[in-house]
Structure 1
């Protein structure tokens, strides 16, 4: 398996470590979309959010507030995006990880949601909620 995160975890590729415990390694993202952009990586290889063990996912997500607050204290961003890309086109490393992207004025990062509330009838919400519930 040629997984860049597994290679980092095995010490084959250097990284800028921020935090580590038994289940998690947090490192600076090499791309630095913004200053302090950090990846929280599950040590055990799972492809993505669809595949990860629920208990491990809980452990990985549990360090998000700790690291987000450290980033806040270190760099004083105006906000933070927490992102998990699952499958293409946005997931480029197929090893479960969470992006913490600190936000700054005019930082050039564009994560914008379209508001379809005015175009979505009540029945569509009811149907969508039922379909999700039926698949739990």
Structure 2
């Protein structure tokens, strides 16, 4: 199995504009967008724009910028969905649960007593994702 970065992965295609994504936040180094197979309403992904397969091979400066944006977007996600908490997930390699081999952080708003949906539970409606993204963008504007 190769552990080299594959520029054909779906997140690289999103970064190149080859596949659409419902964007929440973007700067020179990072992109945040709605997960199309959300485990809860508001499930957002944050990725670096630089090619990094995962946490273990990423440049520490890339990680520093990524985590700063993940924290900011995470606060907005929690606010936008009036969540009781926020789960932050980051997986590495197949044995660690990684399925897309571009470094990414999952931000999942949580409510007490509500279990997560399966991540492979189907694609979300595009209009719903657009509305959820707007709620997060509005929360980011309120900062």
Q: Given the two structures, how large is their TM-score scaled by the length of structure 1?
A: 0.77
Unaligned residue ranges in structure 1 (runs of 5+): 111-136
Bigger radius of gyration? 1
Q: Which residue does 2:34 correspond to in 1?
A: 28
Structure 1 SS opposite 2:46: strand
State the shift of 1:88 in Å: 1.0
Aligned with residue 108 of structure 2, among 77, 101, 105:
101
Q: How does 1:36-115 map to 2 (within 5 A)?
A: 36-89=42-95, 90-109=97-116
Structure 1 SS opposite 2:45: strand
**How much is the aligned-residue C-alpha RMSD, in angstroms?**
1.3
1:81-109 C-alpha deviation (Å, 9 max, x unpaired): 11110111310000001010111234322
1:41-62 C-alpha deviation (Å, 9 max, x unpaired): 0111111011000001100001
Displacement over 6 Å in runs of 4+: none
Unaligned residue ranges in structure 2 (runs of 5+): 1-6, 118-143
Q: Distance in 2 between matches of 1:68 and 1:37?
A: 10
1:8-66 C-alpha deviation (Å, 9 max, x unpaired): 00000000000000110000111111000000001111110110000011000011221
User: How many residues are matched?
Assistant: 110
